[in-house]
Amino acid sequence: MPLALYTLTAGAFAIGTTEFVIMGLLLQVAGDLGVSISLAGLLISGYALGVTVGAPLITILTRQWPRKTVLVALMVIFTIGNIACTIAPSYGALMAARIVTALAHGTFFGVGSVVATALVPPERKASAIAIMFTGLTAATLLGVPLGAWIGLAYGWRATFWTVAVIGALATVVLAAFVPSSDSRNNEAVSLREELAGLLRLQVLLGLGMTVLGYAGVFAVVTYIQPILTQITGFSEAAVSPILLIFGAGLAIGNLGGGWLADKRLMPTLIGTLATLAIVLAAMTFAVHEKTLAVAFVGLLGAAAFATVAPLQLRVLEKAGGAGQGLASSLNIAAFNLGNALGAWIGGVVIDHGPGLGSVPFVAALVTLAGLVLALVSHGLDRRIPASTLSHQGI
- Is the four-CA dihedral 344, 350, 354, 360 of positive or negative sign? positive
**What are the structural domains of the chain?**
3-392 (1.20.1250.20)
Question: What local confidence, expressed as pLDDT, does residue 290 receive?
Answer: 92
Average pLDDT on 355-378 reads: 91
DSSP string for residues in 221-233: HTTHHHIIIIII-
pLDDT at 321 exceeding the cut of 70: no
pLDDT at 222 exceeding the cut of 60: yes
DSSP string for residues in 44-98: HHHHHHHHHHHHHHHHHHTTTSBHHHHHHHHHHHHHHHHHHHHT--SHHHHHHHH
* Higher-scoring residue by pLDDT: 58, 2: 58
Question: What local confidence, expressed as pLDDT, does residue 181 receive?
Answer: 56
* CA distances from residue 186 to 15, 72, 97 in whole angstroms, order as listed: 26, 19, 32
CB atoms within 10 A of CB 388: 10
Asked which of 26-30, 127-131, 321-325 is least confident by mean pLDDT, the reply is 321-325
* Residue from 221, 349, 192 nearest 279 by CA: 221
Please tell me the distance from the alpha carbon of residue 185 to that of residue 149, in angstroms, as a whole number.
41
Average pLDDT on 73-78 reads: 92
The fraction of the chain above a pLDDT of 70, given in percent, is 92
Verdict on whether the full-model pTM lies above 0.95 = no
